[in-house]
Structure 1
């Protein structure tokens, strides 16, 4: 059996490549970057260079179809936001192999933060009060009490533009519109948790939840401390029943000071919680095809991106005993026994993203997803 895993730049792709390799599959990884992380893993036998999906979705889908046919791919597995372009091309691709994703309409509904909030409004575990903002008037109506709200684009990732309890003056640069809507979500103080789950036709097959103890700014977690709140698990079960979702999905939650959970947003893709199954990779792969006897649950031990921890978290905590205790207790998700090349590949991948950021005059974070993200634009009009 042969799998093509997309989003080779992502550590999640590296995890899946190792999982399929351990399960005896032939593994190909694909990306529009030329030096993505997973390309250099011993678990990846082939690399497929793809065009940029955001720039030309049709060419990207056709390149995938060619790769599927020439390499005799059995399963196509997305890990990042290329999943939207993949769902858009399902009619072309599903006759060629199995594609692990839900349909485009459902992905759009959960990706849009306002639509997702409306969907979960009356669920047992729901979003905080959320308002969709499509013009300045709607925004200004909340300006006097801005300190009670969190403002973010309806289509966004990594909290890159999120304004948490801002001053009214900070809202002057926010220009919501029908084309680029924002949401205002009531601020809830508490502890943030994230999840990763695999669902097939709405049935929950694997599920993990974790606290991102250390982060890159307010965005991506780089240290993953497992947690297992029952209310989060019940939320995922209800999500599956209500939507019939197929694929990987992650959610962000907040546990308030009274111990109640609230769901903040949905990420219809792989998240870092996939690393918490690295002690049962073959079972994770099997769960995509066969229902496990019991729900696949994660390791209780923390995982981390060690290089990011050392470069971004350690300098501010060099004298902290608890920090170094956390570091010593976690396993790196990038460099593992018998697979050391991804260590150097991190530098190569970062260098390529730095070049892209410079050429496109954007931040490193924006450059890391600029070619694959989808922000609500009609796919027939996707251009950079």
Structure 2
């Protein structure tokens, strides 16, 4: 695909900055559309235009119409959803002008992956390892809870919102106000996450990583690792579903070394930061491209959130030492000497998220996605 104009549909998160820099380096004109007027990626010298849209949470139809108007007005060739807004943006697939592409799978396929219940059923049907999962309020869920320790969580959620744990032999109860919740077997073991780029069932690359510093249940500092059995699981799933687009998973590797996929995130996650920025656009655009290179650095961090978590752990000797070591040694995901302003202005551009996180006592990750997440089919 020749260089043209790319519309990135999120700007507040570091992953968007990676893609803005990558496409700009390939000669593309970069436009960022965001409900926030000020955001991290908007401070980058790689962004040509910044457009403000309504938030999807305020009305899905209005959000999609705003994106269509930007596509038409600014001559967009490629629409690139990256985060939780992907579930909304994918609905543009059949409404875009001829020749304009959105890098996401069909809506039905996408939403089936986003839904924790349907994803677990799909993976199980493919013969892949997932924990036992059932809809809360069903006899299957009650039987599961009687047999093993379990987790209750929303079927549609992100950033670890609305999770509760239960012991075997107890009746599962709602963990939040969400209309649909699941009961899932609680697997004990080591937690890993992945990020992949896929084209028609072929994986261009998979990053496996684990959290080093956590903000709630979301990692703000992370380490890339090699884990062949997880990589093979991802490749098998992508091949069997013929997936095209970004796709990520959370795994727990049980005591026998078996990776159990606890959920799928059909979007970009923090694993993208381990891919060389110069290779990222080509890996997204060209199914025949050589696999993108990994950065030499295996430890990355979002500096400001990591700093906050390190300060908060100052009186927790073991945790503080680990957090401080990570803060001092991990490479920041946003810093670039050629494009310094996103890092330097982050306390200002992220102020809206920071302030809401403090005033509501919720994690940065939860607050940063609440207005763009897909929770139901209304609106």
TM (norm. structure 2) is: 0.88
Give the total of aligned pairs: 371
Q: Mind listing any 5+ residue stretches in structure 1 that lack a counterpart?
A: none
What are the residue-to-residue correspondences of 1:65-84 with 2, within 5 Å?
Answer: 65-84=68-87
Secondary structure (helix, strand or coil) at the match of 1:211 reads strand
1:288 is aligned to 2:284: yes
CA distance 1:162–1:288, change in 2 (3 Å):
same
What are the residue-to-residue correspondences of 1:122-271 with 2, within 5 Å?
Answer: 122-123=125-126, 125-133=128-136, 135=137, 148-165=149-166, 172-174=173-175, 180-217=179-216, 219-271=217-269
Displacement of 1:139 after TM fit?
5.6
In structure 1, the partner of 2:98 is: 95
Displacement of 1:6 after TM fit?
1.2
CA distance 1:311–1:175, change in 2 (3 Å):
closer
Q: What CA distance in whole angstroms lies between the structure 1 residues aligned with 2:68 and 2:195?
A: 28
Q: What CA distance in whole angstroms lies between the structure 2 residues aligned with 1:237 and 1:142?
A: 29
Secondary structure (helix, strand or coil) at the match of 1:295 reads coil
CA distance 1:60–1:256, change in 2 (3 Å):
same
Displacement of 1:152 after TM fit?
0.8
In structure 2, the partner of 1:16 is: 19
Q: What CA distance in whole angstroms lies between the structure 1 residues aligned with 2:327 and 2:84?
A: 30
User: After the TM superposition, which of the residue ranges 363-372 and 82-91 deviates more from structure 2?
Assistant: 363-372
In structure 2, the partner of 1:313 is: 310
Secondary structure (helix, strand or coil) at the match of 2:57 reads coil
Displacement of 1:226 after TM fit?
0.4
TM (norm. structure 1) is: 0.87
CA distance 1:322–1:204, change in 2 (3 Å):
same
User: After the TM superposition, which of the residue ranges 12-21 and 333-342 deviates more from structure 2?
Assistant: 333-342
In structure 2, the partner of 1:372 is: 372
Secondary structure (helix, strand or coil) at the match of 2:284 reads coil
Secondary structure (helix, strand or coil) at the match of 1:269 reads coil
Q: What CA distance in whole angstroms lies between the structure 1 residues aligned with 2:115 and 2:52?
A: 29
In structure 1, the partner of 2:348 is: 348
Secondary structure (helix, strand or coil) at the match of 1:372 reads coil
1:62 is aligned to 2:65: yes
Secondary structure (helix, strand or coil) at the match of 1:368 reads helix
Q: What CA distance in whole angstroms lies between the structure 1 residues aligned with 2:253 and 2:123?
A: 17
CA distance 1:322–1:287, change in 2 (3 Å):
same
CA distance 1:247–1:173, change in 2 (3 Å):
closer
Structure 2 residue aligned with 1:105, among 108, 118, 125?
Answer: 108
Kept in 2: contact 1:207–1:297 (CA 8 A): no
In structure 1, the partner of 2:50 is: 47
Kept in 2: contact 1:113–1:154 (CA 8 A): yes
User: After the TM superposition, which of the residue ranges 193-202 and 298-307 deviates more from structure 2?
Assistant: 298-307
Q: Mind listing any 5+ residue stretches in structure 2 that lack a counterpart?
A: none
CA distance 1:340–1:169, change in 2 (3 Å):
farther
The CA deviation string for residues 246-270 of structure 1, in whole angstroms up to 9 with x for no partner, is 2111100111222221111000111
Secondary structure (helix, strand or coil) at the match of 2:15 reads helix
Kept in 2: contact 1:3–1:73 (CA 8 A): yes
User: After the TM superposition, which of the residue ranges 327-336 and 2-11 deviates more from structure 2?
Assistant: 327-336
Kept in 2: contact 1:200–1:245 (CA 8 A): yes
Q: What CA distance in whole angstroms lies between the structure 2 residues aligned with 1:42 and 1:165?
A: 49
Displacement of 1:282 after TM fit?
2.6
Secondary structure (helix, strand or coil) at the match of 1:93 reads coil
Displacement of 1:4 after TM fit?
1.1
